[in-house]
Amino acid sequence: MPGIFLAAVAEFLALTKVLGFCRFVQDNTAELKLCQNGTVAIHQNTPPASALRQGGPTIALLVGSSLWGVLWWPLRHFNAAGLRGAWLIFAVYLLLAIPAGLWSWRRRHELRQHGRTLVGLLLLGGWTNVAFMLALVHGEVIRILLLFYLSPVWAIFAARIFLKEAIGWRGGLAALLAVGGSALVVSNGQGVSLADLDTNDLLAISSGLAFALSNVILRADTVLGDVHRATAVWWGCVLIALPFALVQQLPALPLPEYGYLLAFSWLWIAGATVAVQFGVARMPVSVSAVIMPFEVIVGALSAWWLAGEAPTLLELFGGTLILAAALLQITRSQGHPILLGGVEMEKGEL
């Protein structure tokens, strides 16, 4: 376990440096030059805005995706150590929700006029994490990840309905590929029926749907701060996990594991959550929702290497279709304006 948390710390610190650099570049747009006559001239720099703005969110999504991709590993460790299922989720997010809640409460004036956003994130963001974690603890990692990543399909239509973003032929083709790929993953080529879906499958699918809708909420309200958003999601996890925990046996965790639990909560989960929210809040829904399938690659490789979970040939083909859908979405034209909440903007220029 110590190796897990050292890796999490390294990725989190790398993300912090990247985001800090992007903020430095954006804020320091002027430089002083000493002329030959002894005077000082101010030169206004105009760096390529699109590259600087997109670089930080993209790297944040990749780092967050990596952390979520290997999330099954510490979850199963704690589950084997005695902190199981919903109790684990409740404990992890309570450790985050209490200090974050105090921080938000002291700045509660910033929450005015964001009530709908906070409630939406509490419910949808909370269910996203709770359902996803419950599925990962007991389900097959690659299968759970692929079913979760039906979220691009949900995001395509949610962005069209709520944000008026155009679907286009690439969006329609991406949806067909993702549905076909998920059918192969679920049925393993034997025909699709609801009987093929177990509880973990349904949790993964519902988590992906909630995640897509959460992205729409984040994009519709770009004013609310990242920490406030994370606080709403974390308290949603606590409140949603509690009823599930109350019907389970009380946990018994060895004393040394509590230190690992604290590090896992504050470094791994917090880092992944903030990284993802930073990215999706600053990119179009149709793009941010499909950059993150990098998590599938990380999760599949880690599950094969550490847990011996080798995907079948049809699962690999189905996963390829889902990732092809992601590629179609990523390569959608960036030059045509879209409607975001009724305001015309250039895709990627946020």
Can you spell out the DSSP letters for 9-41? Answer: HHHHHHHHHHHHHHHHHHH--EEEEE-TTS-EE
Global confidence as pTM: 0.73
* Encoded tokens for 197: 């879906």
Give the model's pLDDT for residue 331.
59
- Per the CB < 8 A criterion, the answer to whether 265 and 93 are in contact is yes
Give the SS3 label for residue 344.
Answer: strand
User: What pLDDT score does 302 carry?
Assistant: 92
Phi and psi torsions of 43, nearest 5°: -110, 120
Tokens 């929702």 sit on residue: 289
Q: Give me the phi and psi of 338, to 5 degrees please.
A: -125, 165
Burial class of residue 205 (count of CB atoms within 10 Å of its CB; 0-12, 13-18, 19+) = buried
Residue type present at position 134: L
pLDDT average per 10 residues of sequence, the chain (350 residues):
49 44 38 42 46 70 87 94 93 96 94 93 95 93 86 76 77 83 73 73 92 85 87 96 93 89 93 79 66 78 89 85 74 38 27
Give the residue carrying structure tokens 């290497």. Answer: 305
| Residue 106 neighbours by CB distance under 10 Å | 9
Q: Distance between CA 112 and CA 63 in Å, rounded?
A: 31
Contact 12, 68 (CB under 8 A): no
